[in-house]
Amino acid sequence: MTEDVMTQARMSERQLDAESLVSADCDAVDAVSARRSQSKLPSFEFSTAGLPRSDQFAAWHKSFAPMLELTDTDPKTTNFTGRQRLWDLGSLVLAQIRTDSLAFSSLPLHIRRDPVDHWTMTVLLSGHVRTDAGRRAFNAGPGEVQIHSLGRPFTGVADKSEMLVLFVPRDFSLETAAMLGSAEFSTLGTGMGRLFCDYLIDVANRLPLLSQADLPGLVAATRAMILACVSPSADHSEAAKGPIATALLEKARQLVHSRLLDPKLGSEMVRRELGISRTRLYNLFEPFGGVMHYIQHRRLLSAYAALKDPNDRRLIFQIAEERGFSDGAEFGRAFKRAFGHSPSDVRNRGGGGIPVRPDLEDCPSQERLGVLLRRLQG
């Protein structure tokens, strides 16, 4: 009898041990799943559905206001349908957009004051878009890739369509700057262009499965795809083949970095140091909005870092003055245009680094695209 009891006890003990192991394994799996869930790439959605007709297009217009002027081509319709889903990829932004028909135009004068001056690579999934960029006009349909420069003047019309739009900042890389600058305002109708179309569609389908840890690899793969698939337009082919231009631009960037706080830093100093003509300097920095635009942008980034540094307790005006801003109001306006916050807001939040990443969850949904585009700072 005693032996039977001991046997039963040992069996019960083994069962408890097994149940504990299963429970521990389940807890571990739950913990891993929770970590993966927490690190999933967030997406942000905005839709005009549910709004009164009188407010639908106004809300859609506001969402694109940092980059485009939109016009409702048929305001008498019962509804205007617009829907966007945004992914923050760190140094890139991807948007999936559905829209009813509209007209659009760039904001070149506004862009000169605003850092939203990126390239867009648009893959049409349905519908058609026509763009007129002065001497260049082109049409695009489903499966074709369009390249636009938000910093240059253009107009266009889109019928009811769905598209993927990849926003590529000017400072993404020297190679992509040269390549996209040569191919802007064109469609990629080649086999490689169709390959890029398939790639971007596949990325959009897989993004819900990716985590923050996958971002560096995704960004590197996308850069490689851009370089492999974008063919320069014929009339800019020489500019695209510019290893000398690339070397000059890198030297110029290093000069700006090393002399950033020098009050004499300007286009003439950069031109002399590089030993090139004013025309060549203009062409080098044209993709970045000009030499002075580039210098001011770098100085604003430097000011942001100083304001976020808890050990730097100088007055805001002193930080601004050190970076060439003699007018505090002018500095405040330029800073807010660049980062979406005033210098005092950034200082009061404290902390280190330059992530310039306001919480998108706190933004009105129609303003998130503008916030993300302003994040694409070099």
Q: Which long-range contacts (CB under 8 A, 24 or more apart) does 314-322 make?
A: 316/343, 316/344, 316/347, 319/343, 322/261
Q: CA torsion sign, 111 to 116 to 119 to 121? A: negative
Beta strand 93-99 with 43-47 is unpaired
pTM, entire model: 0.65
- Residue 223, classified by CB atoms within 10 Å of its CB into exposed (0-12), middle (13-18) or buried (19+), is middle
Beta strand 68-72 with 161-168 is unpaired
List domains and CATH numbers for the chain: 43-238 (2.60.120.10), 242-375 (1.10.10.60)
- In degrees and rounded to multiples of 5, residue 200 shows phi and psi of -65, -35
The residue among 34, 82, 75 whose CA lies nearest residue 61 is 82
Q: How far apart are CA 110 and CA 112, in angstroms?
A: 5
pLDDT tens track of the chain, all 378 residues?
444 434 444 444 444 344 443 444 444 434 434 444 447 888 899 999 999 998 999 999 999 988 899 999 998 889 999 999 999 998 899 999 999 999 999 875 544 445 467 889 999 999 999 999 987 899 999 999 999 988 788 999 999 999 999 999 887 877 788 788 888 899 987 778 888 998 999 999 999 999 888 888 899 889 888 988 886 555 444 443 444 566 677 788 888 889 999 999 999 999 998 888 888 888 888 877 789 988 998 899 889 888 888 888 899 999 999 999 988 889 999 888 877 788 988 888 754 334 434 566 667 787 788 877 777 654
Element (H, E) at 285: helix 278-285
Report helix angle 291-308 to 328-339, nearest 10: 90
